[in-house]
Amino acid sequence: MTKFKKYLQFMMLPASICLFLLLSIGTMAQDSTAVPSKKPVKNTFESNWVLDNQSVMVPIKGTLEMDMQHRFGTVRNGFKDFYGIYAPSNIRIGFSYVPMEKLQFGFGFTKERLQLDLNAKYAILKQTKGGIPVSITYFVNTVIETTPDKDNLIYVTGGDRMSYFHQLIIASKITDKISLQVSPSISHYNNVEGVLDADGIVQRNMKNDHVAIAFMGRYKVSDKMNVLINYDQPITQHPGLKKNTNPNPNLSVGVEFVTSAHAFQLIFGNYQGITPQSNNYFNHNAPFKYTTADGTEMKGGMFLIGFNITRLWNL
């Protein structure tokens, strides 16, 4: 058994425990003497974003949000590029609107591969005091890569530019200070890289679908400041005829400052992409040193600095 498979199996155990704890603690943490209320629990998370992932929150009806997101280069070069600040960076400008209670639509533009994303988010279930233990939200994102390709060298058909992301977001506000979230997801790319095998036949280097799971937590330091942590674990193993094909996990930590109309998150993590399917499918920055299934020694510590800023208007 390869080191990577051992590592994956090692990670699945805490992942299962986390999922079990979220569902059970969510029930237990609710005061048994409290009168059950139909009012939903508020502020499980205080922004649409938890660092690199969507939070369970769908803002109130009539909310218009503008997102400004930035990811610098990795810090590994030190002073050479001032810890990634002067390195090539990734940027997304996005907008979202909540036309009716529980439902949000959004779109955005990302610098990396000129991605245009269209997304929707629906709050299926909301946690209540002494009643429902968790909130559940569904998030879907479609991306069109708009990179110019006049001679169809990258994209043979228009459909090759498309990718999709589906995520089920399950979260619970355990106490006033602590919230936890687990988010299984599936990403789909219409177009995957082809490589020639030993017989000269074109094979897919990666599968079209990629399953992953993310874990997030928030600790409320004060009414204005939160500490956030996020971990993304890839689950699908791709054929990987080329070396170093499989995406890496992502570990990110950050602080969040919240005001009436803004949320500001400062991030230290591995993901340089911003759209979720791109992050889950193509992350080459490993948080820890490990050996892949094909024997490649992955360097750990590939962290970078980033930030998310959201501006809200209530129309």
User: Which residues contact another protein (rule: CB under 8 A)?
Assistant: 39, 43, 60-62, 176, 222-224, 258-260, 314-315
Residue 203 or 314 with smaller CB distance to another protein: 314
Which residue stretches of 191-293 are H helix? 276-282
Give the CA diameter of the chain: 69
Least Å distance between CB 64 and another protein? 11
Q: Closest Cα to residue 254, out of 69, 105, 110, 124? A: 69
Least Å distance between CB 93 and another protein? 23
Residue 40 or 239 with smaller CB distance to another protein: 40
Residue 39 or 243 with smaller CB distance to another protein: 39
Contact 26, 189 (CB under 8 A): no
Residue 118 or 225 with smaller CB distance to another protein: 225
Taking only Cα atoms into account, the Rg of the chain, rounded to an integer number of angstroms, comes to 20
Coil/strand/helix, residue 191: coil
Residue 298 or 312 with smaller CB distance to another protein: 312
Give the whole-angstrom CA distance, residue 160 versus residue 154: 8
Least Å distance between CB 39 and another protein? 8
Least Å distance between CB 314 and another protein? 4
Least Å distance between CB 175 and another protein? 13
Residue 50 or 206 with smaller CB distance to another protein: 50
Residue 6 or 224 with smaller CB distance to another protein: 224
* DSSP code, position 62: T
| Those residues with Cβ within 8 angstroms of residue 39's Cβ, 6 or more apart along the chain or in another chain | 128, 129
Contact 237, 229 (CB under 8 A): no
Residue 19 or 66 with smaller CB distance to another protein: 66
Least Å distance between CB 38 and another protein? 13
Residue 30 or 141 with smaller CB distance to another protein: 30
Contact 118, 276 (CB under 8 A): no
Contact 15, 213 (CB under 8 A): yes
Neighbouring CB atoms inside 10 A of 303's CB total 23
Least Å distance between CB 36 and another protein? 16
Least Å distance between CB 72 and another protein? 28
Give the whole-angstrom CA distance, residue 61 versus residue 41: 16
Least Å distance between CB 287 and another protein? 33
In this structure, which long-range contacts are made by residues 217-220, counting pairs with CB atoms below 8 Å and at least 24 apart in sequence?
A: 217/178, 217/179, 217/180, 217/181, 218/44, 218/45, 218/50, 218/178, 218/179, 218/180, 218/256, 219/177, 219/178, 220/176, 220/177, 220/178
- By CB neighbour count within 10 A (0-12 exposed, 13-18 middle, 19+ buried), where does 39 fall? exposed
